[in-house]
Amino acid sequence: MAENVPQENNTAEEGEAELRLTWQEQLGISWKTPIGLFGVGLTTVCFTLLILGLFGHMTGLIENHYAAIVTFLIFPAGMLFGLILIPVSFYVRRKRWFRNSLSKVFLVIDFSKKIHRRAVILFLVLSVINLTIFALVVYEAYHFTESDFFCGAVCHTVMDPEYTAYQRSPHAKVGCVQCHIGSGAEWYVKAKLSGLRQVKAVIDGSYSTPIPAPVEHLRPARDTCEACHWPEKFHGKRTKQFIAFSNDNQAEPSIQEVSLHIGGRNPFTDTFEGIHWHVSKDVKVEYQSLNSTRTAIGKIKVTKPNGITEEYEVPGGEGEAPAGDGVWRTMDCIDCHNRPTHVYENLAEKIDLGLFSKKINPELPGIREDSFTVLQTEYATREEAREQIVEDLVTLQAKRHGDDFAREHEAELIASGNYLLEAYLGNVWPAMKVTWGTYKGHNGHQDEADGYGCFRCHDDTHETKFGKTISQSCDLCHDEPQ
Ligand code: HEC
Ligand code: HEC
Ligand code: HEC
Ligand code: HEC
Ligand code: HEC
């Protein structure tokens, strides 16, 4: 292409006339550099595929979510990159010309010339078409990046645990973004910025395993949960049943019923009562969390309607915050319902549910203990678990009762093993270091020993300077269990 470039050996005098190229001429040749040609090619290919993809998605012909990644993210990026290369090529070439003493020509549009009129109209029409398509793509891409599929499945290995637990929860139809982003431009931008960091972490493998809970900057529940739930609602009492077996008695469960005083604003008395008292409009409960999991609590401050505040602390200064970690937080839904949708199951509860529903056959002696052994085995991958679990259960039972027993009860053992496998696949991801009990809930006191739940504050040791404590008496929260 060097022939297009005026040569330096022209003298300035006579060169003047020859070196002048008109704008049309410059435009005509300036993109024909390797960069420019590549740009034009890339844009054309991506553009064509984009149009086809867009058509496919909008008419429903293409339903594959992974195709959407290509259509809405990769093609537009390719097209944009190609488009940018064209002016780059133009710029580079013109710079070379000027260095080679080509005189500058300025763009003059003369509407009295037909060719100029046509060019301008063509330019405008093409721009409108381009912008329309771009707007469509941006719109579709925006929706796509907000979809649960994008959040849950694009970063498959990383998000698989949360996505799986979410899909079986009461919030399976609530979008990830409704809790994690909420409405408003500010949080949208924040989320996209942290999204970019997360994409980088997935690409270079620097993400943490397991992903830490709580999410550091989860938006206050007032903007998310309260878009659907009304804190004042009066729930009254709700009875929950807890069913447990023991290794010695696999057949008869002990059934514990607790009637929880959820409360809310009582329409008869107009007082806000019960467990939901903490989120009533009338009060504000703040606490100082001393560690990142919020399991150690320093001071607690309650502001009541008439402006009276009460401050609780553990006497003896133990509650002093270590530097940087003592974060004050206003209590909201998530301080109790921290696992409203990423609900991982409890190992013992899951096995006992199996026995109760007879999916694990309670008539096989020792099956409860063997189920624990199998589900607590550390398989290297989910694949390995898939291949091993049923076999491992059969082997354990054969060891216990002999091979004949195992052969005789093969069908029941396989059915029980399949239940365990399903339980495993719903709760354990070795690659993400997620296993039984990795994520614990605050909504109760089953994991009290690890610092989770109500007894973080209701511990009879946090007290005001007048010695008032936060009660742990059983009937404060539920009817006295039998
Ligand atoms: C009903 C509200 C809600 C929805 C819907 C929701 N999340 Fe969450 N998510 C939370 C809360 C609350 C936490 C904090 C958990 C904690 O503090 O223990 C969380 C935590 C997480 C975490 C951190 C790891 C963990 O398990 O604690 C990830 C990752 C995550 N969510 C991803 C998702 C994805 C992906 C979706 C959609 C498929 C989604 N979330 C939908 C409320 C929600
Ligand atoms: C987009 C609406 C929406 C948002 C946002 C939402 N929820 Fe829900 N939530 C629901 C619906 C709908 C149900 C009822 C599901 C059912 O009955 O099957 C529900 C049920 C619940 C339940 C009862 C579960 C049970 O076991 O019966 C709790 C607790 C709850 N939500 C807490 C939360 C918390 C905490 C948040 C914020 C992190 C939140 N929700 C955000 C719609 C929402
Ligand atoms: C002090 C802890 C605590 C706080 C704070 C809290 N909840 Fe609850 N909530 C509970 C408990 C305990 C239950 C009983 C059911 C259970 O164990 O899941 C419950 C039950 C519920 C239910 C189910 C009610 C039913 O009739 O089955 C919903 C919905 C709910 N909460 C929503 C919320 C929302 C929304 C917020 C924030 C505005 C909130 N909760 C704040 C502890 C709390
Ligand atoms: C961050 C600290 C904190 C946590 C966590 C906490 N509470 Fe409380 N709770 C308080 C304080 C403070 C009071 C008020 C004590 C008082 O004024 O007597 C209170 C009061 C209550 C009351 C009495 C409300 C009334 O009508 O006066 C109930 C019921 C209750 N809590 C249940 C729960 C349950 C259930 C959980 C766990 C799911 C829980 N709390 C977790 C701090 C906490
Ligand atoms: C601060 C509130 C609170 C206090 C005080 C409290 N509980 Fe509970 N308890 C709960 C909540 C909330 C649940 C429901 C947990 C769930 O939904 O998973 C529960 C569940 C239970 C269960 C059934 C679950 C299990 O662990 O087997 C038993 C049993 C129980 N409580 C016993 C007691 C006893 C005994 C006391 C008195 C020493 C007591 N609780 C005091 C809030 C409380």
**Per-residue pLDDT at 15:** 40
Domain stops at, among 145, 170, 186: 145
Asked if residue 12 and residue 90 are part of one domain, the reply reads yes
Residue 158 Cα to ligand 5 midpoint, Å, equals 34
Single out the residue in 145, 178, 201 at which a domain terminates: 145
Residues 377 and 279 in one domain: no
Which protein residue has the closest C-alpha to ligand 1 atom 28? 162
Residue 113 lies in a domain: yes
Is 167 part of a structural domain of the chain? no
Q: Is residue 175 part of a domain?
A: no
Residue 137 lies inside a defined structural domain of this protein: yes
Report the distance separating Cα 430 and Cα 447, nearest Å.
22
Cβ neighbours of residue 384 closer than 8 Å, sequence gap 6 or more: none
Ligand nearest to the CA of 308: 4
Same domain, 290 and 332: yes
The sheet with strand 284-289 has its strands ordered as 309-312, 297-303, 284-289, 327-330
> How far is ligand 3, taken at its centre, from the CA of residue 283, in Å?
16
Q: Is 300 in the pocket of ligand 3 (CB under 6 A)?
A: no
Same domain, 365 and 258: no
Cβ atoms 429, 439 nearer than 8 A: no
Both 47 and 141 in one domain: the answer is yes
- 370 and 395, same domain (yes or no): yes
Q: Which of 339, 445, 459 has most ligand 5 atoms within 8 Å of its beta carbon, as the pocket-test mutant?
A: 445
The residue whose CA is least distant from atom 31 of ligand 4 is: 275
Ligand 4: atom nearest CA of 444 is 38
Which is the closest atom of ligand 1 to the Cα of 151?
Answer: 35
Structure confidence at residue 20 (pLDDT): 66
> What pLDDT does residue 318 have?
53
Whether 312 maps to a domain, the answer reads yes
* Shared domain check, 321 and 392: no
Ligand 4 binding pocket includes 331 (Cβ within 6 Å):
yes
User: Looking at 145, 162, 196, which one is the last position of a domain?
Assistant: 145
The phi, psi pair for 433, rounded to 5°, reads 55, 35
Compute the radius of gyration of the chain from its Cα atoms. Answer: 33
**Ligand 3 contacts CB of residue 238 (under 6 A):** yes
Backbone angles phi, psi at 429, to 5 degrees: -135, 95
With a 6 A CB cut-off, is 278 part of the ligand 3 pocket?
yes
pLDDT digits (tens, 9 = 90+) for 217-257: 788 888 899 989 998 899 999 999 999 999 999 999 999 99
Q: What is the pLDDT of residue 16?
A: 44
Q: Which of 162, 194, 452 to mutate to test the pocket of ligand 1 (most atoms within 8 A of CB)?
A: 162
Question: Within 10 A of 117 (CB to CB), how many other CB atoms are there?
Answer: 13
Taking the centre of ligand 3 as the mean of its atom positions, its distance from the CA of residue 342, in whole angstroms, is: 16
Instruction: Please tell me the predicted confidence (pLDDT) of residue 12.
Output: 39
In a domain, 229, yes or no: no
Q: What gap in Å lies between CA 231 and CA 410, rounded to an integer?
A: 52
Question: Which amino acid is present at 243?
Answer: I
Give yes or no for residue 259 CB within 6 A of ligand 5: no
- Output the CA 158–ligand 2 centroid distance in Å: 24
| CA 16 to ligand 1 centroid distance, Å | 70
- Count structural domains, the chain: 3
- Say how many Å lie between the CA of residue 163 and the centre of ligand 1: 9
- Residue closest via CA to ligand 4's atom 16 equals 470
Mutate to test the pocket of ligand 4, among 275, 289, 299 (most ligand atoms within 8 A of CB): 275
For position 412, what pLDDT does the model report? 95
221: Cβ below 6 Å to ligand 2? yes
Q: Which domain holds residue 366?
A: 347-425
Q: How far is the CA of 471 from the centre of ligand 4 (A)?
A: 8
CA dist 404 and 220 (Å) reads 60
- Return the best residue to mutate from 289, 334, 342 for the ligand 1 pocket (most ligand atoms within 8 A of CB): 342
Stretches where the chain sits below pLDDT 50 are 1-18, 319
Q: Are residues 130 and 42 in the same domain?
A: yes
Does residue 482 form part of some domain?
Answer: no
**With contact defined as beta carbons under 8 Å apart, do 110 and 116 qualify?**
yes
| Distance of CA 9 from the midpoint of ligand 5 (Å) | 94
> pLDDT at position 459, please?
92
**Same domain, residue pair 363 and 453:** no
Q: Give the Å distances, CA to CA, from 246 to 163, 251, 356, 398, 419.
A: 32, 9, 12, 21, 19
Same domain for 414 and 454?
A: no
Tell me, yes or no, whether 387 and 296 share the same domain: no
Per this entry, what is the length of the chain?
482
Specify the pLDDT at position 10.
39
391 CA distance to ligand 1 centroid (A)? 34
Taking the whole predicted model, whether its pTM rises above 0.85 is answered as: no
Distance 236 CA to ligand 3 centre (A): 11
**Ligand 4 within 6 A of CB of 477:** yes
What pLDDT does 181 receive? 82
Is 176 inside any structural domain? no
Of 448, 462, 460, 458, whose CA–CA distance to 478 is shortest?
A: 458
**Distance between Cα 304 and ligand 4 center (Å):** 13
Q: For the segment 344-380, what is each residue's pLDDT rounded down to a tens digit?
A: 999 999 999 999 999 999 999 999 999 999 999 999 9
Predicted pLDDT of residue 319: 47
Contacts of 186 (CB under 8 A, 6+ apart): none
Cα 72 → chain centroid: 20
> Are 135 and 107 contained in the same domain?
yes
